[in-house]
Amino acid sequence: MSTNTPVGTAARPLRVAVVGSGPAGVYAADILTKSEAVKSGELTVSIDLFDRYPAPYGLIRYGVAPDHPRIKGIVNALHKVLDRGDIRFFGNVDYGTDLTLEDLRTHYDAVIFATGAIKDADLNIPGIELEGSYGGADFVSWYDGHPDVSRGWPLEAKEIAVIGNGNVALDVARMLSKHADDLLVSEIPDNVYRALKDSPVTDVHVFGRRGPAQVKFTPLELRELSHSKDVDIVLYPEDFEFDAESDRQIQSNNQTKTMVGTLTNWIAEQPEDLSELTASRRLHLHFLHSPVEIFDDAAAPGRVAGIKFERTELDGTGNARGTGEFIDYPVQAVYRAIGYFGSALPEVEFDHSKGVVPNDGGRVLDASGAHVPGIYATGWIKRGPVGLIGHTKGDALETVTYLLEDRGSLPPAAAPAPEAIVGLLEDRGVQFTSWEGWLALDAHERSLGEKASAGAGSVQRERIKVVPREDMVEISRGGVAAEV
């Protein structure tokens, strides 16, 4: 088709590629299709959604604990968008390997990167490299059945430290302390269930640098801790320090007030003699602790034997400073969950200090700070791994608004025909999956759950997640993989 054909008309829709099919990518595609320009008939769009994984949903499938109470509602919302049929899904297509930036620019007028952040932020303290020291994001990928990680995980520790006071830290701590049988109602893969079932863990300690009023998790995540059966929550009175800024935060923020109220109620109900707690596992919440060093010992050189913290105190501004008092905790594993960090994208400028693609409101910038025509970003790769999933809607709206403002000056694609990208992938032998393929995989996972639930007295399992990438691709493309 001639590149002189007017872009965005019935004869030549505006062709947009979205790289990443998590909430950020799906929201951007959905907002674009529902924009006023499209609804009024002024603009027509044709959107293709690419993902490196065979299945859609990104963070929702591979970055949220399977027992998270909101996961089903978010999946349902994303499903409705993709099930309409006006957005094509191409799974198992890796940007930078299967498709280059030049490929995308040849076939699309605009590209939106929504690749998120999947790596752990660094924690630079001595001993972080010891055996038994793990990244929380890596553990999340394992228990969520990520197709590109090992199916095994070393769960050998009885006492575990989790560093961080955000939702991921609580997810990690909850998954480590919760009894595996209580996770069967989720879509937990069988290999994960078996490993957690055999875990010898008795105590999981969660550490935050500041006080209870400065935690970064949400009331929903906090309440979830109390729903774990045969797991006692343990709190420490010396950690409940509040300064003037804490009081201001409590009075001005209902979420903070709710969380502090929950924590103070828990500690008020806790027996003074902790030996009266009867659960077989304990989840300890510590505040005002700053990690200093992870250490080994002579009995097991090179392996985690404990972790040293400096006690902190609030400084009147909501921040914390060291007190010079140090405490050692004997643990055999440490999980850092202090945040995610973005990964660089081939042929796109990257800010390695912030883990984001440099951008101005979603318009991607080059090394000189100039906007790269037709290239945009949204979600965590745009703004960093902060905020809740719902925040990505406003983020996507900003990016799409700028894209629409720019549409008259976008460099037109040389080969915009929808079938052209399909031909390119087929010529390269890319075993891409489709939305119809996801529906087949979805049905297969549900059938595995039904079979597992068929035994007398069995827990009703809604689904069992398929883990091996080759099985996911085969099922999605019409084959039948081995039973999981």
Residue 6 pLDDT grade (very low, low, confident, very high; cuts 50, 70, 90): low
**pLDDT-based confidence at residue 119 (cuts at 50, 70, 90):** confident
DSSP letter string, 56-93: S-THHHHSS-TT-TTHHHHHHHHHHHHTTSSEEEEBS-
With 80 as the cut, is the pLDDT of residue 456 above it?
Answer: no
Q: Pairing state of beta strands 45-50 and 333-336?
A: unpaired
Please give the average per-residue pLDDT across 128-150, as a whole number.
95
Sorted by sequence, the CB contacts under 8 Å of residue 34 that are 6+ apart come out as: none
The 10 Å CB-count burial string (b at 16+, else e) for 167-179 is bbbbbbbbbbbbe
Look at residue 2 and tell me whether its pLDDT is greater than 60.
no
Percent of the chain at pLDDT > 70 equals 96
What is the predicted pLDDT for the residue at 352? 93
Q: Which of 464, 432, 429 is nearest to 450 (CA)?
A: 464
Report the pLDDT value the prediction gives residue 7, as an integer from 0 to 100. Answer: 77
Pairwise pLDDT comparison (7 vs 343), residue with the higher score: 343
Q: How many percent of the chain have pLDDT more than 90?
A: 82
Q: What is the pLDDT of residue 483?
A: 43
Q: Cα(75)–Cα(59) distance, rounded to whole angstroms?
A: 10
When mean pLDDT is compared across 13-27, 268-282, 388-402, the lowest value belongs to 388-402
Does the pLDDT of residue 480 top 60, yes or no?
A: no
Q: Mean of the pLDDT values across residues 364-383?
A: 97
The predicted structure's pLDDT at residue 296: 96
Nearest-angstrom CA–CA distance, 328 and 326: 7
Write the CB contacts of 338 (distance below 8 Å, at least 6 apart in sequence). 120, 121, 123, 136, 163, 164, 166, 169
Average pLDDT, the chain: 93
Q: What is the pLDDT of residues 214-242, one digit of tens each?
A: 999 889 889 999 999 999 999 999 999 89
- 107: pLDDT strictly greater than 90: yes
The mean per-residue pLDDT over the stretch 96-121 comes to 95
Average pLDDT over residues 26-31: 97
CA dist 467 and 53 (Å) reads 11
